[in-house]
Structure 1
Amino acid sequence: MRRVAIVAPEKVLRESLVRIAEAGCVEVDLAGDGGPDVRGPAATRLQRLRAEPAQPVLSEGRPDLDALEREGRGDLLAGEAQLEERLGSAVRHGTVAALAGWCPETELGRTTALIAGAGGALVPLRTPRGVDPPTLLTGADTGHPAFAATPVRRSFTPLVTTYGTVPYADLDPTMAAGIVYVVMFGLMFGDAGHGLLLVAMALLLRAGRPRRMAALRPLWPFVAGAGLAATMAGVAYGEFFGPTGVLPVLWLEPLQEPMRLLAAAVGLGAVLLAVAYAAGIVNRWREGGPSAALYATTGIAGAALYVGLAVVAGYVWLGQGVYGVVGALIAAVGLALAGAGLYATTAGGPGGAVQTGIQLFDAVVRIGSNVVSFARLAAFGLTHAALGAIVWDGTTALAVRGPVGVATALPVFFVGNALAFSLEALVAGVQALRLEFYELFSRLFEGEGRPFSAWHLPVQHLTESAAGAGPPAAVEAVRQGPAREESS
């Protein structure tokens, strides 16, 4: 992201801004002096019109605002009102005007060439000290094709944006977060039959069905990924609409080996936490340099404490004394670094020492609780398997009672699986989101950035208007606008 200045002679500033709006690649700074709200001519007419909010549109030429008001063209008046706001935010020196803003590095050359054709210029500037550029995640919903991403990345982006805006200096965790989410969901929703149903639902979303859910169509790769992960976990568990025996058990049967599943879930959680600490170190370094990375509880200090406690846990598990000594030393170093960093943020003195001690205790407890929290991957996987077993046992118990029993068993099987699918899909989805946000993202991010908001409006060109893009009087208003403006 580059800080830029839009510079143009006063007489071509409007045309330059129209091209900026049509390109949709520049966030233009607006004047925020806190003064009185002074509405421009277009905004005043738009308010008088009292029409339903319309999608703003800009006209290529300067329009006749009175004619637009008479025609009820709220779309063009809304676009002119936005343009007036930016024209009013410009800094003027003689016959030259300028506005500041932000532009993605990849779009800088194209946008510069675009406004150069109008007589303006897009000048790169140094980023002001202490100002963080806005963040543009690839795949975020900007409404502009220049920033479009692959369908998979676009479907994963809401996972990150729901949590908050990633600071500009931080790593973009979109793809990693999406993959981790679907894996955790699959472990809790491990049934091949239910997973294939999710895949089928994803394909329906891709096809735009049902129509009332068409707005969710971009999420189809995310749903498909969750369904595939659940299907693979179901194959490993030998679950296909419950323990029906259709699939052999390739790894373990959850209800028969719960402790093994629990150990696998906690082990996976420990690995994910280690990765989160590594990403946190990179983020702290990029945000504030080596010192910020060294002393932060989500940086090197926190990672050392985590590794030390993990080695101590290895001593408890294996009974090797050397692990206890090494782990205690690493944890002590991590505590010392974290304590120095936390104490520096306090007012000092005895109160600061007490506050630091409480925060260090909380850091140690959080590490233990966060690792154990991943046991829910096994707990809800067991719950799903138990529900499937109950439904299947009820189905088989009824099926052996003759034709009447079979007729009763079929509704039990379908209704039972429908209830298990609905309940467990909701629970697994919420629990995977909770683990992602609280256990992982809390180590990646310490603050929140500001989303990039490009100014993007469609432009009504004269040739389009002549072809029938608007009412005749409105077309004439666009054409006659400059002459009428001068006569007034």
Structure 2
Amino acid sequence: MLRPVEMRKFRILVPQQHELELVHTLAALGTHVASRGGVEEPIVAELAEVARKRELERRDLERALKLLEVSAGVEGEYYRVARAIVEEISQLERLEKYVSKLAELGVSVEQLRGKGLVFVAAVPLEASEASKVAAAVEGEGVHAMSVKVGDETMLIVVGLSEKRDAVLSILKGMGLRPLEVPEWIGPSLNAGLKMIRERRRALMQEFKNVISYYVRTKREGEGKELAMYDEYVELGERISSMYSQLKEIAKQVGSEIRTRPPRRRIMCERRQVERALREIKERVDELSPKVKALSERMIELRTLSEELTRLRRLSKYLSKLAELGVNLDQLRGRGLIFVEAVPLKPEEVSKASSAIEREGVHVVPVEVSGEESLLVIVGISEKREEVLSILSETGLRPLEVPEWIGPSLNAGLKMIRERRRTLARRLEYVKRAIRERVDELGHEVAELLSTIRAMERCMNALVVARSVVRRLRILRRHEYSIIEGWIPASYSDELKRAIEERVPVLLVEIAELKKGEEAPYLSRLKGFLSHFTALTLALGVPSYWELDPTLILAALFTLMYGMMFGDLGLGPILILLSFLVERWKSFGEFLGLTPSGLATLSTLMKACGASSTVFGAIYGIAFLVKIYESPFSPLHDIVRIVAVAIFFGILQLVLGMVLNIVNSLIIGDFYDAVLGSRGLLGLIFYVSGLLLAFTVVREGLSLGVIVEWPHVLFLYVLLLALVGVAVAPIYRSLAEGLSLGECLAEGFTSILEMLMGLPANTLSYVRLAAFAIAHEAFGLMAFALAPTLGHIPSLLLANALVLILEGFAVGIQAARLIFYEFSTKFFRGGGIAFKPLSVEIEVEKR
């Protein structure tokens, strides 16, 4: 239980096309896979070596450029950018040679640019042409001389500035071009040389950045998997949207769309998936405008339906008005008398009638149906505008009769019936056409939806593979996938059997770990005890090669909590509260705890409550009240409780050092196990010091006793251990070739820790006694308040304060002692938590 679950390391090699099936198999077996994804080929590895160099030389540039040409291709963006940088570096190097030579000759920038009385032209040329060109330009009354610049020749022409144009014309005629000094060089050639070198360094760094980025993108798969997954998610959203639209349309036209199984099964292989996504996208692009057109066709259907509904209502109203003898001219306000027909609800009739009748018109309510009435208003035409104004204010709208209805209401009713028949035929035709189209499109979209859903498992594996699969490419044609990771030793045979059955593997290696080799940490604790791992993980993830301190930390934490908070009454209350906390989700949200975090807190409360109950029985205290005379009372046995607290602290510190010795021996670090300040010498020093301190206290604080026989032996042992820890770093410096100064500083720090840290850590445990005494003292406070508040209220108040404030403070103190005083003596950390491979991916809603 003090060691994590034993691990085995595995390495699996498969052909690249089977890597996704391998990922799924490993996820099903709950393996922990190393995150080392990407493509690894000899060219990429060599480019990575170039990028890691601190200073690049010319041959490094040429070699890297050649490798980049082979790997990325001459048309590749990385190659073209890198080649442009190398060409600019070459130009700068050539410019640097010429400028350096000109600076030696005392030439200035102004002379090279022809801005002074005398100009200088520097012409790079072949050595065989130098005499011929010199003779040609000297005919213009200037001086010319040739100088060697490395393996090249440069002709320097000097003369008055008025001759410069003529000289340049001669040089141009001979196909020569003088050296051009860039505008950014200045103010002198020496300053320009520094600028050239700075520019060259910047370009070298830029070249390294290009190579580094290329290596990173190759090793990370160039982001193709993420792009494919994004495309998959986008296609899924588009298909789902089309399916929803078609399903709604089908419902409106009396049809139905059902999901269908995929027409063909897509192999879970990268190229097959890529091809399938491409085909699905092409089909979705074809179907999208068709679905959009069908949605637009639905607008016509809705328009026809609304028009039929309007005509049906109009026919109903006009039939009632025709029965009353109303004519069209009256409805349109063209005669002496006007008539307005206002559709409204039956409950609105009386209110509308009283408002309108005040204008001196007649109002006749007519029932059209149980839910609809028609308010017929009759009056002389001069009142019509006032009536319309009142109707507008009350939110009522009179019936509008279309202009195409006439010449009478009965004739208009016939026209409406004929128009309704025409619209109904058109509506049925459009609905039938839409139904046929939606059935056709729905069949395809439903199949696409099934296909895209069936690909989810494979697409998730594709993204996971990006970070856990390392690809080995040989001769640019053969590509293999390698996955490395760890599995509990008890499942190693099952892993090998499952891999060989499900995936055509080329290699399966499962090996025991070498001492000190990296491996993930997985606690052996299960069920109730597994919640205590939170104490260990609060320190950090333990290294695989150190003891798992979870049970020790849990035992010490609960013991110290109970010792400080011993109470037969409040202990069970703490246990009852733990059940409430476990189910109180809003409390967890307030504290920022997940459900598992709440479960851990509840478990700690149960353990601490049980410990408090046990110590409460020892102290004879319940709800801060002394209920029986116990052989041990913190308040009345202060010296004894302090001694117990210090003794308990000594045991913890000794245990911490022993654990450190064991951890060091496990990994083979004999130096730390024997010579370290927390190793064997440190333990000898601490125990010797404790024996001397006990002797001094026993002899009435007489320091002279430590030099008397046989106590002086402990003093000698203590001093030898101290000297041993101090000089041990010198041995380390000689054995491991480390800096002597750093090693001596380490020894000095270790001595300070032993002389000051260990005594301070020991005395820190006095807080156990202090809180135990304080807890019992709170009972006295309750009795002191009893005359004022009453006996029961004062006890209730004191217990509530103790449970909330002291209960929390005691937990902090117990945590501090195990996290600082105790665990710093042995805990190393720096491990990685065992995390089973998962192919479940959460997609953010767009």
Range into which the TM-score falls when normalised by the shorter chain: 0.7 to 0.9
Q: Among residues 562, 568, 584, which one is paired with 1:186 in the alignment?
A: 562
Q: What is the SS of the residue equivalent to 2:833? A: coil
Separation (CA, whole Å) in 2 of partners of 1:166 and 1:188: 29
Distance (Å, rounded) in 1 between the aligned partners of 2:504 and 2:232: 34
CA distance in 1, matches of 2:504, 2:32: 14
Give the Cα–Cα distance (whole angstroms) in 1 for the partners of residues 794 and 234 of structure 2.
58
For 1:439, the equivalent position in structure 2 comes to 821
Q: 1: CA distance between counterparts of 2:9 and 2:607?
A: 38
Q: Distance in 2 between matches of 1:27 and 1:453?
A: 8
Q: Matches of 2:459 and 2:642 in 1, distance apart?
A: 59
2:748 is the counterpart of 1:357: yes
Decide whether the 8 Å contact of 2:472 with 2:479 is kept in 1: no
CA distance in 2: counterparts of 1:41 and 1:189, whole angstroms: 57
Matched letter for residue 657 of structure 2? Y
* 1:363-442 mapped onto 2 (5 Å cutoff): 363-395=754-786, 397-398=787-788, 406=790, 409-442=791-824
Question: Is 2:475 the counterpart of 1:79?
Answer: no
Q: Any idea what SS the aligned residue of 1:40 has?
A: helix
Deviation at 1:283, TM superposition (A): 0.7
Moved more, 41-50 or 260-269: 41-50
Asked if structure 1 preserves the Cα contact closer than 8 Å seen for 2:229 and 2:463, the reply is no
Structure 1's unaligned 5+ residue stretches are 52-58, 140-148, 399-404, 460-488
Q: Which amino acid aligns with 1:273?
A: L
Q: Does 1:301 align with 2:681?
A: yes
Q: Sort the Cα spacing of 1:218 and 1:445 in 2 relative to 1 into closer, same or farther, 3 A.
A: closer
Q: Displacement, 1:45?
A: 4.0
Alpha-carbon distance change, 327 to 92 in structure 1, aligned in 2, over 3 angstroms: same
Q: Is the alpha carbon distance of 1:333 and 1:61 closer, same or farther for their aligned partners in structure 2, counting shifts above 3 Å?
A: farther
Matches within 5 A, 1:92-131: 92=473, 94=478, 96-120=480-504, 122-125=508-511, 127=513, 131=517
Q: Aligned-pair distance for 1:209? A: 4.5
SS in 2 for 1:382: helix
Deviations 1:56-91 (A, max 9, x none): xxx995365576999697975872453340475233
Change (3 A) 1:14 1:336: same
1:150 correspondence with 2:334: no
Query: 1:126: Cα distance to partner?
Result: 6.1
Q: Which residue of 2 aligns with 1:4?
A: 10
- The partner residue of 2:574 within 198, 203, 224 is 198
1:41–1:290 Cα change, 3 Å: closer
Q: 1:46 Cα deviation (Å)?
A: 2.8
| 2:523 paired residue number | 137
Aligned position for 2:250: none
Alignment of 1:47-86 (within 5 A): 62=268, 64-65=276-277, 79-86=460-467
Q: CA deviation at 1:14?
A: 1.9
Which AA in structure 2 matches 1:375? V
Instruction: Report the more deviating stretch, 311-320 or 375-384.
Output: 311-320
Q: Who wins on radius of gyration, i.e. which is larger?
A: 2
Tell me if the contact between 2:471 and 2:480 (Cα under 8 Å) persists in the aligned partners.
no
- Counterpart contact for 1:304–1:333, Cα < 8 Å: no
* CA positional deviation for 1:177: 1.0
Q: Could you give the per-residue CA deviations for residues 311-351 of structure 1, whole angstroms, max 9, x where no partner exists?
A: 111221233644631321221232133223344367326x8
After superposition, the C-alpha distances for 1:278-319 in whole angstroms (9 at most, x for unaligned) are: 111101111234333111111112111111111111221233
Counterpart in the other structure of 1:269: 649
1:4-45 CA-to-partner distances (Å, cap 9, x unmatched) read: 102223343321211111222232332378713622245454
- SS of the aligned residue for 1:99 comes to strand
Unpaired segments ≥5 residues, structure 2: 1-6, 39-47, 49-214, 236-264, 285-447, 589-594, 700-704, 842-846
For residues 13 and 21 of structure 1, do their structure 2 counterparts lie closer, same or farther at Cα, with a shift above 3 Å needed? same
Structure 1 residues 29 and 23: alpha-carbon distance in aligned structure 2, compared to 1, 3 A threshold: same
CA RMSD across the alignment: 3.3
Alpha-carbon shift at residue 118 of structure 1 (Å): 1.1
Q: In structure 1, which of residues 337, 347, 350 is the aligned counterpart of residue 739 of structure 2?
A: 347
SS of the aligned residue for 1:6 comes to strand
Distance 2:234 2:559 in 1: 51
Task: Provide the residue aligned with 1:24 in structure 2.
Answer: 30
**1:160-183: CA deviation from partner (whole Å, max 9, x where unpaired):** 011011111111111111011100
Q: Secondary structure at the match of 1:2?
A: strand
Q: Distance in 1 between matches of 2:483 and 2:606?
A: 45
DSSP-derived class of the 1:281 partner: helix
The worse-fitting range, judged by mean Cα deviation, of 61-70 and 446-455 is: 61-70
Aligned to 1:338: 725
Match of 1:250 in 2: 630
Paired letter, 2:671: S
Whole-Å separation in 1 of the counterparts to 2:796 and 2:517: 58
Where does 1:209-224 land on structure 2 (aligned, <5 Å)? Answer: 209=584, 212-213=587-588, 214-215=595-596, 216-224=598-606
Q: Distance in 2 between matches of 1:449 and 1:88?
A: 22
1:313-328 matches, within 5 Å, as 313-319=693-699, 321-322=708-709, 324-328=711-715
Identity of aligned residues (%): 22
Alignment partner, residue 223 of structure 2: 39
Structure with greater strand percent: 2
Cα shift at 1:387: 2.1
Q: Larger RCO: Structure 1 or Structure 2 (Cα < 8 Å, ≥ 6 residues apart)?
A: 1
Question: CA separation in 1, counterparts of 2:720 and 2:794?
Answer: 59
Aligned residues: 429
Alpha-carbon shift at residue 92 of structure 1 (Å)? 4.7
Query: C-alpha deviations, 1:343-392, integer Å up to 9, x for none?
Result: 4367326x854663353133221111111010010111122222232124
How far did residue 416 of structure 1 move?
Answer: 2.6
Q: Structure 1 residues 50 and 425 mapped into 2: Cα distance closer, same or farther (>3 Å)?
A: farther
Distance 1:324 1:23, change over 3 A: same
CA deviations on 1:248-272 (whole Å, 9 max, x unpaired) are: 1323222222221111100111111
TM-score by length of 1: 0.78
Q: Is the 8 A contact 2:532 2:600 kept in 1?
A: no
For structure 1, which segment, 356-365 or 229-238, has the greater mean C-alpha deviation from structure 2 after superposition?
Answer: 356-365
Higher mean alpha-carbon deviation, 193-202 vs 250-259, is at: 250-259
Q: CA deviation at 1:232?
A: 1.2
- The C-alpha deviation readout for 1:381-427, integer Å capped at 9, x for no partner, is 122222232124323x24xxxxxx65xx4443323311111111111
